[in-house]
Amino acid sequence: MPIRKHKPFPNHFLWGGAIAANQTEGAFNQDGKGLSVDDVIPYIKPDQHGKMKMSNPDLKTIKEAKAGTSGNVYPKRWGIDFYHHYEEDIQLFAEMGFKALRISIAWSRIFPMGDELSPNEKGLLFYDRLFDALLAQGIEPVVTLSHYEIPLGLAEKYNGWADRRVIDCFVRYAKTVFKRYNTKVKYWITFNEINGILMGPFIAGGIITDRLKEDQLIQTIYQAAHHQFVAGALTVKACHTLCPDAKIGCMIAGVSVYPRSCKPEDVLAAMNEERRTLFFTDVQVRGYYPAYVRRFFTEHNMQIETQREDATILKEGRADFVAFSYYMSSVAEANKGELPVGRLFSEVKNPYLKSSDWGWSIDPQGLRYLLNILYDRYQKPLFIVENGLGAADKIEPDGSICDDYRIDYLRAHIEQMKEAIEDGVNLIGYTTWGPIDLISATTSEMSKRYGFIYVDQDNEGHGTLERKRKKSFYWYRNVIASNGEQLD
Ligand code: BGP
Protein backbone atom coordinates (compact mmCIF):
# COMPACT_ATOMS: atom_id res chain seq x y z
CA MET A 1 0.00 0.00 0.00
CA PRO A 2 1.44 3.40 -0.89
CA ILE A 3 1.76 5.72 2.07
CA ARG A 4 -0.56 8.64 1.60
CA LYS A 5 1.45 11.83 1.71
CA HIS A 6 -1.46 14.04 2.62
CA LYS A 7 -4.32 13.48 4.99
CA PRO A 8 -7.50 13.54 2.98
CA PHE A 9 -9.87 16.42 3.44
CA PRO A 10 -12.09 15.86 6.46
CA ASN A 11 -15.46 14.18 5.95
CA HIS A 12 -18.21 16.77 5.57
CA PHE A 13 -15.73 19.23 4.08
CA LEU A 14 -17.81 22.04 2.60
CA TRP A 15 -16.91 22.03 -1.11
CA GLY A 16 -18.82 24.50 -3.19
CA GLY A 17 -18.92 27.98 -4.62
CA ALA A 18 -19.57 31.57 -3.56
CA ILE A 19 -21.66 34.30 -5.14
CA ALA A 20 -23.07 37.60 -3.90
CA ALA A 21 -26.50 39.15 -4.35
CA ASN A 22 -25.30 42.38 -5.93
CA GLN A 23 -23.20 40.58 -8.54
CA THR A 24 -25.78 37.99 -9.55
CA GLU A 25 -29.40 38.65 -8.60
CA GLY A 26 -30.33 41.58 -10.81
CA ALA A 27 -34.01 42.54 -10.30
CA PHE A 28 -32.61 45.61 -8.58
CA ASN A 29 -35.96 47.35 -8.30
CA GLN A 30 -38.37 44.43 -8.14
CA ASP A 31 -40.61 43.22 -5.34
CA GLY A 32 -39.92 46.23 -3.18
CA LYS A 33 -36.11 46.18 -3.25
CA GLY A 34 -34.43 49.53 -2.59
CA LEU A 35 -31.21 50.67 -4.25
CA SER A 36 -27.93 49.48 -2.82
CA VAL A 37 -24.59 51.24 -3.17
CA ASP A 38 -23.74 48.81 -5.95
CA ASP A 39 -26.66 49.87 -8.09
CA VAL A 40 -24.95 53.20 -8.76
CA ILE A 41 -21.54 51.74 -9.64
CA PRO A 42 -20.94 51.89 -13.39
CA TYR A 43 -19.01 49.48 -15.58
CA ILE A 44 -15.45 50.82 -15.70
CA LYS A 45 -13.65 50.37 -18.98
CA PRO A 46 -10.14 49.01 -18.31
CA ASP A 47 -7.38 51.61 -18.46
CA GLN A 48 -3.65 51.17 -18.72
CA HIS A 49 -2.98 51.60 -15.03
CA GLY A 50 -3.87 48.40 -13.23
CA LYS A 51 -7.42 47.24 -13.34
CA MET A 52 -7.76 46.72 -9.62
CA LYS A 53 -9.53 49.78 -8.43
CA MET A 54 -12.86 50.37 -6.83
CA SER A 55 -15.29 53.16 -7.51
CA ASN A 56 -15.81 55.68 -4.74
CA PRO A 57 -18.38 57.91 -6.46
CA ASP A 58 -19.09 61.44 -5.34
CA LEU A 59 -22.54 62.89 -4.66
CA LYS A 60 -22.90 64.26 -8.19
CA THR A 61 -22.10 60.88 -9.76
CA ILE A 62 -24.60 59.15 -7.49
CA LYS A 63 -27.28 61.69 -8.40
CA GLU A 64 -26.62 61.18 -12.10
CA ALA A 65 -26.74 57.42 -11.72
CA LYS A 66 -30.11 57.64 -9.99
CA ALA A 67 -31.48 60.05 -12.57
CA GLY A 68 -30.14 57.93 -15.45
CA THR A 69 -28.39 60.94 -17.01
CA SER A 70 -24.79 59.74 -16.91
CA GLY A 71 -24.71 57.67 -20.09
CA ASN A 72 -23.08 54.85 -18.11
CA VAL A 73 -24.31 51.29 -17.65
CA TYR A 74 -24.78 49.73 -14.21
CA PRO A 75 -24.33 45.96 -14.60
CA LYS A 76 -24.95 45.13 -10.94
CA ARG A 77 -28.54 46.16 -11.51
CA TRP A 78 -29.06 43.17 -13.76
CA GLY A 79 -26.35 40.76 -12.54
CA ILE A 80 -26.93 37.42 -14.26
CA ASP A 81 -30.62 37.55 -13.37
CA PHE A 82 -30.12 34.91 -10.69
CA TYR A 83 -33.33 36.24 -9.14
CA HIS A 84 -35.23 34.50 -11.91
CA HIS A 85 -32.71 31.76 -12.78
CA TYR A 86 -31.82 30.46 -9.32
CA GLU A 87 -33.57 27.13 -9.72
CA GLU A 88 -31.73 26.30 -12.91
CA ASP A 89 -28.42 27.48 -11.43
CA ILE A 90 -28.84 25.47 -8.24
CA GLN A 91 -29.57 22.44 -10.39
CA LEU A 92 -26.19 22.93 -12.08
CA PHE A 93 -24.42 23.38 -8.73
CA ALA A 94 -26.05 20.16 -7.54
CA GLU A 95 -24.83 18.40 -10.67
CA MET A 96 -21.28 19.35 -9.64
CA GLY A 97 -21.99 17.86 -6.22
CA PHE A 98 -21.82 21.10 -4.23
CA LYS A 99 -22.05 20.63 -0.48
CA ALA A 100 -22.34 24.37 0.14
CA LEU A 101 -23.23 27.56 -1.67
CA ARG A 102 -22.16 30.86 -0.21
CA ILE A 103 -24.68 33.56 -1.05
CA SER A 104 -25.46 36.93 0.42
CA ILE A 105 -28.74 38.50 1.32
CA ALA A 106 -29.31 41.89 -0.31
CA TRP A 107 -29.97 44.02 2.77
CA SER A 108 -31.95 46.48 0.59
CA ARG A 109 -34.33 43.67 -0.43
CA ILE A 110 -35.29 43.24 3.22
CA PHE A 111 -35.03 46.86 4.39
CA PRO A 112 -35.20 48.95 1.18
CA MET A 113 -33.83 52.19 2.65
CA GLY A 114 -32.02 50.44 5.48
CA ASP A 115 -33.62 52.22 8.43
CA GLU A 116 -37.25 51.05 8.25
CA LEU A 117 -38.66 49.38 11.33
CA SER A 118 -40.36 46.50 9.55
CA PRO A 119 -39.10 44.31 6.72
CA ASN A 120 -40.25 43.82 3.14
CA GLU A 121 -42.06 40.48 3.12
CA LYS A 122 -41.51 39.89 -0.59
CA GLY A 123 -37.76 40.16 -0.08
CA LEU A 124 -37.88 37.64 2.75
CA LEU A 125 -39.94 35.27 0.62
CA PHE A 126 -37.31 35.23 -2.10
CA TYR A 127 -34.67 33.92 0.29
CA ASP A 128 -37.12 31.39 1.73
CA ARG A 129 -37.50 29.98 -1.75
CA LEU A 130 -33.77 30.14 -2.42
CA PHE A 131 -32.83 28.32 0.80
CA ASP A 132 -35.54 25.72 0.22
CA ALA A 133 -34.20 25.07 -3.28
CA LEU A 134 -30.67 24.62 -1.91
CA LEU A 135 -31.71 22.38 0.96
CA ALA A 136 -33.79 20.24 -1.39
CA GLN A 137 -30.50 19.45 -3.21
CA GLY A 138 -28.59 18.84 0.03
CA ILE A 139 -26.62 22.08 -0.42
CA GLU A 140 -25.81 23.97 2.78
CA PRO A 141 -26.40 27.73 2.48
CA VAL A 142 -23.52 29.83 3.82
CA VAL A 143 -24.96 33.31 4.15
CA THR A 144 -23.17 36.65 4.26
CA LEU A 145 -25.25 39.41 5.80
CA SER A 146 -23.50 42.28 4.07
CA HIS A 147 -21.53 41.72 0.89
CA TYR A 148 -20.73 45.16 -0.52
CA GLU A 149 -24.43 45.99 -0.76
CA ILE A 150 -25.41 48.40 2.00
CA PRO A 151 -28.69 50.17 1.16
CA LEU A 152 -27.99 53.41 -0.70
CA GLY A 153 -30.47 55.12 1.64
CA LEU A 154 -28.06 54.60 4.53
CA ALA A 155 -25.17 56.00 2.51
CA GLU A 156 -27.13 59.09 1.55
CA LYS A 157 -28.79 59.75 4.88
CA TYR A 158 -26.07 58.77 7.36
CA ASN A 159 -22.88 58.51 5.29
CA GLY A 160 -23.06 54.78 5.87
CA TRP A 161 -21.10 53.18 8.64
CA ALA A 162 -19.52 56.50 9.57
CA ASP A 163 -22.66 57.04 11.67
CA ARG A 164 -23.18 55.01 14.80
CA ARG A 165 -26.94 54.85 14.23
CA VAL A 166 -26.35 52.37 11.40
CA ILE A 167 -25.45 49.77 14.04
CA ASP A 168 -29.10 49.56 15.09
CA CYS A 169 -30.25 49.29 11.48
CA PHE A 170 -27.89 46.40 10.84
CA VAL A 171 -28.72 44.55 14.03
CA ARG A 172 -32.46 44.89 13.28
CA TYR A 173 -31.86 43.44 9.82
CA ALA A 174 -29.68 40.62 11.17
CA LYS A 175 -32.21 39.66 13.86
CA THR A 176 -34.98 39.66 11.25
CA VAL A 177 -33.20 37.15 9.04
CA PHE A 178 -31.97 35.04 11.98
CA LYS A 179 -35.54 34.64 13.21
CA ARG A 180 -36.85 33.93 9.75
CA TYR A 181 -34.22 31.42 8.60
CA ASN A 182 -33.01 29.82 11.81
CA THR A 183 -34.12 26.37 10.69
CA LYS A 184 -32.56 26.76 7.24
CA VAL A 185 -29.13 28.34 7.67
CA LYS A 186 -26.29 26.92 9.76
CA TYR A 187 -23.41 29.10 8.58
CA TRP A 188 -23.54 32.88 8.74
CA ILE A 189 -20.89 35.48 7.95
CA THR A 190 -21.24 39.06 9.18
CA PHE A 191 -19.39 41.31 6.69
CA ASN A 192 -17.75 40.36 3.43
CA GLU A 193 -14.09 41.42 3.36
CA ILE A 194 -14.50 43.86 6.23
CA ASN A 195 -10.99 45.19 5.55
CA GLY A 196 -12.20 46.13 2.05
CA ILE A 197 -13.31 49.42 3.58
CA LEU A 198 -9.69 50.57 3.23
CA MET A 199 -9.98 50.05 -0.52
CA GLY A 200 -13.61 50.86 -1.22
CA PRO A 201 -15.08 53.04 1.53
CA PHE A 202 -18.25 53.48 -0.56
CA ILE A 203 -18.88 49.87 -1.54
CA ALA A 204 -17.77 48.39 1.76
CA GLY A 205 -18.86 51.18 4.10
CA GLY A 206 -21.44 53.33 2.35
CA ILE A 207 -19.16 56.36 2.86
CA ILE A 208 -19.50 59.12 0.27
CA THR A 209 -15.98 60.39 0.36
CA ASP A 210 -16.41 63.86 -1.14
CA ARG A 211 -18.45 64.82 1.91
CA LEU A 212 -15.23 64.63 3.91
CA LYS A 213 -12.13 66.75 3.94
CA GLU A 214 -9.11 64.80 2.75
CA ASP A 215 -7.55 64.64 6.21
CA GLN A 216 -10.80 63.27 7.71
CA LEU A 217 -11.03 60.30 5.40
CA ILE A 218 -8.78 57.78 7.09
CA GLN A 219 -10.13 58.58 10.55
CA THR A 220 -13.70 58.21 9.22
CA ILE A 221 -12.85 54.83 7.73
CA TYR A 222 -11.53 53.50 11.04
CA GLN A 223 -14.50 55.02 12.84
CA ALA A 224 -16.83 53.22 10.43
CA ALA A 225 -14.89 49.99 10.96
CA HIS A 226 -15.39 50.42 14.71
CA HIS A 227 -19.14 50.68 14.18
CA GLN A 228 -19.01 47.55 12.05
CA PHE A 229 -17.08 45.71 14.77
CA VAL A 230 -19.68 46.64 17.37
CA ALA A 231 -22.55 45.75 15.03
CA GLY A 232 -20.83 42.48 14.09
CA ALA A 233 -20.31 41.52 17.73
CA LEU A 234 -23.95 42.29 18.60
CA THR A 235 -24.93 40.18 15.60
CA VAL A 236 -22.80 37.26 16.74
CA LYS A 237 -24.53 37.37 20.13
CA ALA A 238 -27.97 37.59 18.54
CA CYS A 239 -27.15 34.67 16.27
CA HIS A 240 -26.09 32.50 19.19
CA THR A 241 -29.43 33.20 20.87
CA LEU A 242 -31.75 33.06 17.87
CA CYS A 243 -29.99 30.29 15.92
CA PRO A 244 -28.46 28.01 18.55
CA ASP A 245 -27.48 25.39 15.94
CA ALA A 246 -25.66 27.86 13.72
CA LYS A 247 -22.09 29.16 13.57
CA ILE A 248 -21.24 32.72 12.64
CA GLY A 249 -17.90 33.88 11.31
CA CYS A 250 -16.09 37.04 10.34
CA MET A 251 -14.44 37.52 6.98
CA ILE A 252 -11.48 39.38 5.51
CA ALA A 253 -9.81 39.76 2.14
CA GLY A 254 -6.80 37.58 2.89
CA VAL A 255 -3.43 38.55 1.51
CA SER A 256 -0.09 36.98 2.35
CA VAL A 257 2.59 39.64 2.57
CA TYR A 258 6.28 39.06 1.89
CA PRO A 259 9.20 41.41 2.52
CA ARG A 260 10.92 42.69 -0.63
CA SER A 261 14.25 41.56 0.81
CA CYS A 262 15.69 40.21 4.05
CA LYS A 263 16.63 43.76 5.05
CA PRO A 264 15.12 44.17 8.53
CA GLU A 265 13.32 47.33 7.45
CA ASP A 266 11.55 45.40 4.69
CA VAL A 267 10.60 42.64 7.11
CA LEU A 268 9.03 45.21 9.43
CA ALA A 269 7.24 46.82 6.50
CA ALA A 270 5.75 43.40 5.66
CA MET A 271 4.68 42.91 9.27
CA ASN A 272 2.97 46.30 9.29
CA GLU A 273 1.24 45.68 6.00
CA GLU A 274 0.02 42.29 7.18
CA ARG A 275 -1.35 43.92 10.32
CA ARG A 276 -3.48 46.31 8.25
CA THR A 277 -5.56 43.23 7.47
CA LEU A 278 -5.06 41.16 10.60
CA PHE A 279 -6.25 44.08 12.70
CA PHE A 280 -9.76 43.32 11.43
CA THR A 281 -9.65 39.68 12.46
CA ASP A 282 -7.79 40.44 15.69
CA VAL A 283 -10.70 42.56 16.89
CA GLN A 284 -13.42 40.18 15.72
CA VAL A 285 -11.80 36.96 16.89
CA ARG A 286 -10.01 38.08 20.05
CA GLY A 287 -12.62 40.64 21.04
CA TYR A 288 -10.39 43.65 21.70
CA TYR A 289 -8.22 46.16 19.87
CA PRO A 290 -4.59 45.08 19.57
CA ALA A 291 -1.93 47.37 21.02
CA TYR A 292 -0.23 47.97 17.67
CA VAL A 293 -3.32 49.69 16.29
CA ARG A 294 -3.47 52.05 19.24
CA ARG A 295 0.02 53.18 18.32
CA PHE A 296 -1.10 53.66 14.72
CA PHE A 297 -4.04 55.81 15.86
CA THR A 298 -1.82 57.92 18.12
CA GLU A 299 0.82 58.46 15.48
CA HIS A 300 -1.84 59.50 12.97
CA ASN A 301 -3.55 61.74 15.45
CA MET A 302 -6.77 59.78 15.18
CA GLN A 303 -9.39 59.60 17.89
CA ILE A 304 -11.93 56.86 17.45
CA GLU A 305 -15.14 57.58 19.31
CA THR A 306 -16.31 54.65 21.37
CA GLN A 307 -18.93 54.11 24.02
CA ARG A 308 -18.33 52.62 27.40
CA GLU A 309 -20.15 49.35 26.62
CA ASP A 310 -18.19 48.70 23.39
CA ALA A 311 -15.36 46.80 25.04
CA THR A 312 -17.81 44.33 26.62
CA ILE A 313 -19.77 43.99 23.39
CA LEU A 314 -16.62 43.14 21.43
CA LYS A 315 -15.57 40.61 24.03
CA GLU A 316 -18.94 38.90 24.15
CA GLY A 317 -19.46 38.76 20.39
CA ARG A 318 -16.41 36.93 19.08
CA ALA A 319 -16.61 35.09 15.77
CA ASP A 320 -16.93 31.28 15.74
CA PHE A 321 -14.81 30.83 12.62
CA VAL A 322 -12.56 32.85 10.37
CA ALA A 323 -13.55 33.09 6.74
CA PHE A 324 -11.43 34.73 4.08
CA SER A 325 -11.01 35.26 0.38
CA TYR A 326 -7.67 34.55 -1.20
CA TYR A 327 -6.57 35.63 -4.64
CA MET A 328 -2.99 36.88 -4.39
CA SER A 329 -0.03 37.83 -2.28
CA SER A 330 1.74 41.13 -1.85
CA VAL A 331 5.31 42.39 -1.47
CA ALA A 332 6.14 45.11 1.03
CA GLU A 333 9.12 47.41 0.93
CA ALA A 334 10.38 49.88 3.51
CA ASN A 335 10.30 53.63 2.96
CA LYS A 336 7.47 53.50 0.47
CA GLY A 337 5.30 55.63 2.74
CA GLU A 338 1.80 54.85 3.98
CA LEU A 339 -0.54 53.01 1.68
CA PRO A 340 -3.18 55.49 0.52
CA VAL A 341 -6.91 54.95 0.88
CA GLY A 342 -7.98 52.90 -2.10
CA ARG A 343 -5.18 50.38 -1.71
CA LEU A 344 -5.37 47.35 0.51
CA PHE A 345 -1.76 46.34 -0.05
CA SER A 346 1.35 47.47 -1.97
CA GLU A 347 1.60 46.86 -5.64
CA VAL A 348 5.30 45.95 -5.74
CA LYS A 349 5.66 43.22 -8.34
CA ASN A 350 6.88 39.83 -7.18
CA PRO A 351 9.38 38.66 -9.82
CA TYR A 352 8.87 35.02 -8.83
CA LEU A 353 5.17 34.94 -9.63
CA LYS A 354 3.03 35.05 -12.71
CA SER A 355 -0.08 37.21 -12.84
CA SER A 356 -3.58 36.89 -14.19
CA ASP A 357 -4.65 38.97 -17.17
CA TRP A 358 -6.02 41.43 -14.63
CA GLY A 359 -2.61 41.75 -12.99
CA TRP A 360 -3.41 39.72 -9.86
CA SER A 361 -0.37 37.68 -8.80
CA ILE A 362 -0.89 33.93 -8.75
CA ASP A 363 0.55 32.39 -5.60
CA PRO A 364 -0.85 29.06 -4.41
CA GLN A 365 1.85 28.66 -1.76
CA GLY A 366 0.79 32.00 -0.37
CA LEU A 367 -2.51 30.32 0.48
CA ARG A 368 -0.75 27.68 2.57
CA TYR A 369 1.26 30.43 4.24
CA LEU A 370 -1.85 32.45 5.06
CA LEU A 371 -3.78 29.43 6.34
CA ASN A 372 -0.92 28.77 8.75
CA ILE A 373 -0.65 32.40 9.83
CA LEU A 374 -4.38 32.57 10.59
CA TYR A 375 -4.55 29.23 12.34
CA ASP A 376 -1.47 29.85 14.47
CA ARG A 377 -2.88 33.21 15.48
CA TYR A 378 -6.47 32.25 16.27
CA GLN A 379 -6.84 28.47 16.57
CA LYS A 380 -10.32 28.80 15.11
CA PRO A 381 -11.81 26.84 12.22
CA LEU A 382 -10.91 28.44 8.91
CA PHE A 383 -13.12 28.65 5.84
CA ILE A 384 -11.83 29.74 2.41
CA VAL A 385 -14.95 31.39 1.07
CA GLU A 386 -13.48 32.84 -2.13
CA ASN A 387 -10.65 31.83 -4.45
CA GLY A 388 -10.49 31.68 -8.19
CA LEU A 389 -9.14 33.01 -11.46
CA GLY A 390 -10.81 35.82 -13.34
CA ALA A 391 -10.14 35.25 -17.05
CA ALA A 392 -11.59 36.03 -20.45
CA ASP A 393 -13.00 32.73 -21.73
CA LYS A 394 -13.26 31.81 -25.38
CA ILE A 395 -16.02 29.73 -26.90
CA GLU A 396 -14.62 27.23 -29.44
CA PRO A 397 -16.38 26.73 -32.78
CA ASP A 398 -17.92 23.51 -31.41
CA GLY A 399 -19.38 25.44 -28.47
CA SER A 400 -16.98 24.09 -25.83
CA ILE A 401 -15.01 26.24 -23.39
CA CYS A 402 -11.62 24.77 -22.50
CA ASP A 403 -10.61 26.69 -19.40
CA ASP A 404 -7.51 24.67 -18.52
CA TYR A 405 -5.92 27.81 -17.04
CA ARG A 406 -8.71 27.91 -14.43
CA ILE A 407 -8.31 24.22 -13.65
CA ASP A 408 -4.53 24.69 -13.22
CA TYR A 409 -5.08 27.64 -10.90
CA LEU A 410 -7.60 25.86 -8.69
CA ARG A 411 -5.69 22.58 -8.65
CA ALA A 412 -2.54 24.33 -7.44
CA HIS A 413 -4.48 26.05 -4.65
CA ILE A 414 -6.22 22.86 -3.55
CA GLU A 415 -2.83 21.12 -3.39
CA GLN A 416 -1.63 23.81 -1.02
CA MET A 417 -4.80 23.46 1.07
CA LYS A 418 -3.86 19.80 1.52
CA GLU A 419 -0.39 20.84 2.66
CA ALA A 420 -1.92 23.24 5.16
CA ILE A 421 -4.24 20.53 6.49
CA GLU A 422 -1.20 18.36 6.94
CA ASP A 423 0.46 21.27 8.76
CA GLY A 424 -2.40 20.93 11.24
CA VAL A 425 -4.75 23.67 10.06
CA ASN A 426 -8.44 23.10 10.77
CA LEU A 427 -9.97 23.95 7.41
CA ILE A 428 -13.72 23.37 7.16
CA GLY A 429 -14.57 24.39 3.64
CA TYR A 430 -13.69 25.81 0.25
CA THR A 431 -16.15 27.76 -1.83
CA THR A 432 -14.57 28.99 -5.08
CA TRP A 433 -15.48 32.49 -6.19
CA GLY A 434 -18.06 32.80 -8.92
CA PRO A 435 -18.86 29.15 -9.78
CA ILE A 436 -21.10 30.74 -12.37
CA ASP A 437 -19.89 33.82 -14.31
CA LEU A 438 -21.03 37.02 -12.66
CA ILE A 439 -20.37 40.76 -12.54
CA SER A 440 -16.95 41.79 -11.25
CA ALA A 441 -16.85 43.54 -7.88
CA THR A 442 -14.01 45.89 -8.73
CA THR A 443 -14.74 46.77 -12.36
CA SER A 444 -18.42 45.82 -12.79
CA GLU A 445 -17.55 44.00 -15.99
CA MET A 446 -18.84 40.66 -17.21
CA SER A 447 -15.79 39.71 -19.24
CA LYS A 448 -13.76 38.86 -16.12
CA ARG A 449 -15.15 35.38 -15.70
CA TYR A 450 -14.57 32.98 -12.79
CA GLY A 451 -17.21 30.35 -13.47
CA PHE A 452 -17.43 26.65 -14.08
CA ILE A 453 -20.62 27.73 -15.82
CA TYR A 454 -20.53 30.24 -18.65
CA VAL A 455 -23.24 32.89 -18.88
CA ASP A 456 -23.98 34.38 -22.27
CA GLN A 457 -23.91 38.09 -21.51
CA ASP A 458 -21.53 40.95 -22.37
CA ASN A 459 -20.38 44.01 -20.42
CA GLU A 460 -23.34 46.07 -21.56
CA GLY A 461 -25.84 43.42 -20.58
CA HIS A 462 -26.54 41.98 -24.03
CA GLY A 463 -26.90 38.22 -24.41
CA THR A 464 -29.27 35.31 -24.04
CA LEU A 465 -28.25 34.52 -20.42
CA GLU A 466 -27.91 30.91 -21.52
CA ARG A 467 -25.83 28.84 -19.08
CA LYS A 468 -23.14 26.48 -20.49
CA ARG A 469 -20.87 23.99 -18.75
CA LYS A 470 -17.14 24.72 -19.17
CA LYS A 471 -14.40 22.06 -19.02
CA SER A 472 -13.74 23.04 -15.41
CA PHE A 473 -17.33 22.08 -14.54
CA TYR A 474 -16.55 18.39 -15.04
CA TRP A 475 -13.16 18.73 -13.38
CA TYR A 476 -14.60 20.29 -10.20
CA ARG A 477 -17.34 17.65 -10.11
CA ASN A 478 -14.59 14.99 -9.88
CA VAL A 479 -12.70 16.94 -7.24
CA ILE A 480 -15.78 17.05 -5.03
CA ALA A 481 -16.77 13.45 -5.69
CA SER A 482 -13.29 12.29 -4.63
CA ASN A 483 -13.22 14.68 -1.64
CA GLY A 484 -10.22 16.47 -3.10
CA GLU A 485 -8.21 13.38 -4.03
CA GLN A 486 -8.68 13.48 -7.78
CA LEU A 487 -7.17 16.71 -9.07
CA ASP A 488 -6.06 15.71 -12.60
C1 BGP B 1 -13.70 39.92 -3.65
C2 BGP B 1 -15.17 40.15 -3.47
C3 BGP B 1 -16.04 39.49 -4.45
C4 BGP B 1 -15.42 39.22 -5.80
C5 BGP B 1 -13.96 38.93 -5.81
C6 BGP B 1 -13.28 39.03 -7.14
O7 BGP B 1 -13.01 41.06 -3.27
O8 BGP B 1 -15.61 39.76 -2.19
O9 BGP B 1 -17.27 40.12 -4.43
O10 BGP B 1 -15.97 39.83 -6.83
O11 BGP B 1 -13.25 39.75 -4.94
O12 BGP B 1 -13.07 40.36 -7.50
P13 BGP B 1 -13.43 40.89 -8.93
O14 BGP B 1 -14.87 40.60 -9.11
O15 BGP B 1 -13.15 42.33 -8.91
O16 BGP B 1 -12.56 40.14 -9.85
Domain count, the chain: 1
Condensed to tens digits (0 to 9), the pLDDT of residues 154-206 reads 999 999 999 999 999 999 999 999 999 999 999 999 999 999 999 999 999 99
Q: How far is CA 357 from the centre of its chain?
A: 21
In a domain, 2, yes or no: no
Query: What percentage of the chain exceeds 70 in pLDDT?
Result: 97
Say yes or no: CB of residue 325 within 6 Å of ligand 1. Answer: yes
Candidate list 193, 273, 274, 445, residue with the active-site label: 193
Rg (CA), the chain: 21
In a domain, 7, yes or no: no
Domain that holds residue 410: 14-481
In a domain, 6, yes or no: no
In a domain, 5, yes or no: no
Contact in structure between 344 and 198 (CB atoms under 8 Å): yes
Say yes or no: CB of residue 13 within 6 Å of ligand 1. Answer: no
Pairing of strands 321-332, 382-386: parallel
Condensed to tens digits (0 to 9), the pLDDT of residues 342-394 reads 788 887 899 999 999 999 999 999 999 999 999 999 999 999 999 999 999 99
In a domain, 71, yes or no: yes
3-state helix, strand, coil in the chain (%, to 5): 40, 15, 40
- 453 membership: H or E segment, kind and range: strand 453-455
Pocket test for ligand 1, best of 433, 439, 449 (most atoms within 8 A of CB): 433
In a domain, 80, yes or no: yes
SS3 108: helix
Please tell me the distance from the alpha carbon of residue 257 to that of residue 180, in angstroms, as a whole number.
Answer: 40
**Is the pLDDT assigned to residue 144 strictly greater than 80?**
yes
In a domain, 40, yes or no: yes
For residue 425, give the CATH number of its domain.
3.20.20.80
In a domain, 486, yes or no: no
- pLDDT range class, residue 53, cuts 50, 70, 90: low
